[in-house]
Amino acid sequence: MPVIKQLKQSRARQEVLRRIQNGDYQPGERLPPERVLARDLGMSHIALRKGLMELVDAGVIVRRPRVGAFVRQTRPLELSTRLAIVVPDYMGTGHPFLPLLMGGVLAGLDQHNHEISIITFKDCSQFWNEAGEKMMARGIHGAIIFTSYIIPLEELQKLEQSGIKAVLLNVSATCPRSRISTITIDLGLSMREAMQRMVDLGHRRIAWMSYEITPFREMEEQLAREFSQKYNLGEPSKLIHRLGCEARDYDRWESLLTGENRPTAMLLQDEFMAHEVYRVCHQLGIRVPDDLSLVAFADALPRSYIVPLSAPDTVSSWNAAARRAAEHLQSLLETGEDRTLETTLHASIQWKASTGPALEP
C-alpha cells in the first residue's frame, strides 16, 4: 500500500480510537455517519472507511448493515493505549542503558492504561522504513524515541504525517526542527566545564578520548581549537584521540599512558572508557589523580571505581528526561493536541576525587 494512503488510513483509525478512549463515543453508542465523520476529521470518505474497518477487525467497533457503526459494549484490549520505546538496535539486546530509560518512562505514565513495546532501528536515514512502519503495523499510538544521532527532517515529517504522537530524546542540540517534541540532554556544557577545570588545575597535556563514530565530533573539534589556542595546548588535532566502537583497545591505552609525553589528564566520552583506563592504570602503577586526572562525560552506569569518577549525573538527567517525555506524550494522547515541547537539560559534572592539580610525570 502506498505510504500516503497508509498514513491517512492510520490517522482515521487513531482519531476515532482516541475519541472512544476519551469517552466522546460511549459503549453501545452509534458513530456519526461516515460522510459526516470524514468531513469532521478533514479526510476522504474512503480513508475513513478503511480506518474504521481496522477498528472492526480489532473488535473496537461493530458494523450493522444499513444501520451504522457502533462502539462495542465491552471494553476490548485495543482500548489500552499502545506505546513504543524506540531505540537504536544496539540497545535492543540487553544494553544496560535501556532499563534506565524504561524506568523514567514508566515513572511518567499511568501504567494500567498502556501497553509498551520496544522497537529498534539501525539507520537514522532509514528511520521510517525501519521503525515507523513497524509502529504502524503494531497500531502504536505514541512513541518515545531515543537516538544519539540526527534523524533527517524528511524522516521526522513522515512520522508527523502518520498521526503517531511522539517525543524525541537525544543528545544533539542540532537536530532538525520539526513539530515533534524534543528533549535534549546537552553535554556541550559538560565538555566545556571539564576542559576549563583541567586547564585551571594546571594541566596542559590533556588527552580527549572519543569514538570514531560520535554525535559530538563537531563540538569536540570546536572546543579543541578554542582551548588549544587560548591555553597553548598544542596542535588541536593531536588533542583528540579516537577509538573504534570498542573501548577495550588495551594496546592503545597502554601506549598512550606509557609514552614519553603521556597526558596528565584524560577526558573520556563515557563510563566504558573510564573502566578500561582505571584497569590499565592499576596494571601500570599509575595513581589517580596524583599521576593522572580523569573526567568522563557520561556515567549512566555508575561503577565502584578505586577512586570516585568525576562525571555528569547522567542517571538523574536521563531519568528526568524520560519521565518528562512520558508525561508529555500522555498529555498529547489524552488531549489529541499537537502541542510541541522543546526542552534542553544540562548535565553538570559532579566533581569527585578523580581529578587533581597537574604534576609532572
pLDDT at 150: 84
When pLDDT is averaged across residues 116-128 and rounded to a whole number, the result is 91
- CA distance linking residue 50 with residue 266, whole number of Å: 59
In this structure, the number of other CB atoms found within 10 A of the CB of residue 20 comes to 23
- CA distance linking residue 200 with residue 207, whole number of Å: 16
Question: 207 with 293: CB under 8 angstroms?
Answer: no
pLDDT at 5: 53
> Residue 59 corresponds to which cell in the numbers above?
473488535
- All domains of the chain, ordered by start, with CATH? 3-76 (1.10.10.10), 78-186+318-346 (3.40.50.2300), 188-312 (3.40.50.2300)
Nearest to 305 by CA among 319, 295, 291: 295
- CA distance linking residue 342 with residue 361, whole number of Å: 46
Does the predicted model carry a pTM greater than 0.75? no
Which residue matches cell numbers 544496560? Answer: 96
- CA distance linking residue 187 with residue 130, whole number of Å: 28
- CA distance linking residue 353 with residue 309, whole number of Å: 7
pLDDT at 6: 56
- In this predicted model, what pLDDT tens digit does every residue of 191-241 receive, in sequence order? 999 999 999 999 999 999 998 888 888 889 999 999 999 999 989 988 999
CA 112 from chain centre, in angstroms, equals: 24
Is residue 174 scored above 70 in pLDDT? no
Which residues have CB under 8 Å from 303's CB, separation 6+? Answer: 271, 274, 275, 309
When pLDDT is averaged across residues 115-144 and rounded to a whole number, the result is 89
- CA-derived radius of gyration, the chain: 25
Which residue matches cell numbers 570516585? Answer: 308
Which residue matches cell numbers 538527567? Answer: 317
